[in-house]
A and B are shown apart, each in its own frame.
Chain A
Amino acid sequence: MDIILKRYKTERKELIHILHEVQKEYGYIPVESVSAISKYLRISESEIFGILTFYKAFTLEPRGKHHITICMGTACHIRGAPKILEEVQRQLGIDAGETTPDRMFSLETVNCLGCCAIGPVAVIDGNYYSNITTKKINSIIKEYKKIE
């Protein structure tokens, strides 16, 4: 934690950058880090908490090793995104916003990724998968499971 903080100036505007780096490093924002950032940047803990709960990029609970995002925007929605979501939920045995008990996968929905032309879209660990179907997503997840 200290190593991360040392890289930044003790100014208010660095908060989001620090949070991003903590999220990247730990996969989530541990509560202890909120206190540490609060002391370093001299911002109250509640303010930091307010900011980190506002942005979806930050999570307070650990995410899985592989993070799956399924677009539920209007375009993806009418092209069958809900069906795909259901399939993934069944496959992993978790609801959107949850993480599998073995911490391998976490699932999340977003309301638009901005690439409606190639919908329905799923993003796994930053890789975009376009025009997916239930079949396709099944094999992709299986692929990921196999790697482990």
Chain B
Amino acid sequence: MDAILLQILNGLDKGGAYALIALGLTLVFGTLGVVNFAHGALFMLGAFCAVTFQKILTISVKVKDESVTFFDAYKEVPYLEIWWGDTGLAIIDWAVPLSIFMAIPVMLLIGLLMERGLIQYFYKRTHAEQILVTFGLAIVLQEIVKSFFGANPIPTPAPDIVAGSAAVGSWLGLSDNIVYPYWRLIYLAFSLLVIFAVFAFLQFTTFGMVVRAGMSDRETVGLLGINIERRFTIVFGIATVVAGLAGVMYTPILPPDYHIGMDFLVLSFVVVVVGGMGSLPGAVSAGFLLGILQSFASMNEVKSIFPGIDQIIIYLVAVVVLLVRPRGLMGRKGVMED
């Protein structure tokens, strides 16, 4: 029972990350009709917003280690600590959550530049061409990040107050052995909040109503005198911000490196396909579903019966779903069928 509950938590947490990335992917596909293989790179750029913000906060005075004479070995004392003591250290400790305030405008700007500078020229091209150009862009972005930050992962810890594990079992009146990291619970809550915010924005605002109308019938909305292109550009920016925020908040779980986006990209595409191309609720449901299935497939009891199942479960489910429901769980008729 304990193991099952822990794997459900793992699955929800993993699913939250899949759902956030898939949400942006499917949003861009549903509105602009673009298959964006650079979406994983946007997740990575978000993560590196947190790294950059942390580096800015920890700009330091270098105190030389005199015992080393052959090169410059030094201990770093951040200026914030020198100026503000414990308050400065507390600000550094909260670098990851605070970096959200930097990531939102930065990612929005990146999204707008990317859409205006490149993506818009590929609206009328084939999906194969879109995939090629966006995949190429992803590689370029990766290499740029690698040249600045190196290839190794960079530690970006959560604030001390949420660095440990929560006694989830005790909270629920179950075993004391059921503990779960605070930050992963925060990530799950954050994912649900962002997903809810995106849905609410599209469902309850005039802007969202126009976008949804444009997703259904672009030409008619255009004939009504609405500049749907501009709105779609903003949607691309929003998708970029969502991917970036997912990346920022994931950094304490997985120390980021230049390749972190690619690790998520393929899985997220499977999530989008299983959920149904262009379907927002489909992407979210499939994200959580596949996350939970993947976690259960990794249990020793399951692997002892089906060795290696944890490696293939997601793709196996994708095959079964596409055989039974070729448009995915919540896919619409006519999407990617021309």
Q: Do A and B bind each other?
A: no
